Amino acid sequence: MKKIILLAAALAAGTLTASAQVEIGVKISPSITSLRADGPSANPFSGGDSKVGFGGGLIVDYFFGENYAFGTGLFLTGKGGSYTYTELAGTPFATPVTQKLTIQYLELPGTIKLFTNEVAPDVRLFFQLGASLAVPISARLNDEKFFKDPLKGNQETAAFDHVFSIDANALLGLGAEYQLGTRTKVLAGLSYHRGLIDLDRYFEKERDFKDVNIRNSVFALDLGMKF
């Protein structure tokens, strides 16, 4: 019985210690988003204007050392921008076309966060490096949910069907945390999210364009609080 009690106490202590190593909070992230686009000379593509995006969600930092944490969470993130391509390239009827693509993602990051010691009273800097996986939950082309292709007899397709079903991003960030109380912290930082996966599901599939690549890029201002 004594051994059982000691084991239960040890497990309880371990649980409390583990819970003390986890910090949970919320974050909002206004951002500037754009699309990196390219294609061969037969079907030239280029990135266009950026747009203002917005995201937010849950922060979870699991500390495995005083200055080291695994950072994750779950975020709703807006991405997109515009790109330009040439219809009927190589013919006398070549015409540049610009499209605006807006996508909303549900995103799960997995990063390592490195914290400095205090650089001022109750202030620590952090550096963040890792990746994220995201799945699109909605999309619009030129602010519409559906797209009519004039070169295919105005065939109508859902904007959501133009976007690949998953996105992966390299993530790099830096910022600062300020300790407000025993557990409460506020944070501010900057992050860059570089899309690694080609988003296009339309031009190569429906229009027989070859080697088209459209990828996300996001610069975000991260503002949050942990409790």
Boundaries of domain holding 222: 22-226
| Residue 27 included in any domain | yes
Q: Please state, in angstroms and as integers, the Cα–Cα distance from residue 103 to each residue in 40, 78, 159, 195, following that order.
A: 25, 6, 9, 13
Q: What confidence category does residue 208 fall into, taking pLDDT thresholds of 50, 70 and 90?
A: confident
For the chain, what is the domain count?
Answer: 1
Q: How far apart are CA 96 and CA 173, in angstroms?
A: 36
Q: How far apart are CA 112 and CA 187, in angstroms?
A: 16
| Residue 32 included in any domain | yes
| Residue 65 included in any domain | yes
| Residue 55 included in any domain | yes
Q: Please state, in angstroms and as integers, the Cα–Cα distance from residue 181 to each residue in 22, 29, 95, 115, 184, following that order.
A: 16, 23, 60, 18, 5
Q: Which residues pair with 174 in a beta bridge?
A: 127, 190
Question: Mind listing the pLDDT tens digit for each residue in 162-195?
Answer: 999 999 999 999 999 999 988 899 999 999 999 9
Percent of all residues in the chain with a pLDDT value above 90, rounded to a whole number? 74
| Residue 69 included in any domain | yes
Provide the pLDDT for residue 15: 41
**Residue holding tokens 């203002």?**
52
Which CATH number fits the domain that encloses residue 222? 2.40.160.20
Q: What confidence category does residue 88 fall into, taking pLDDT thresholds of 50, 70 and 90?
A: confident
Q: How far apart are CA 71 and CA 152, in angstroms?
A: 46
Token pair, residue 7, equals 């084991």
> DSSP class of residue 180?
-
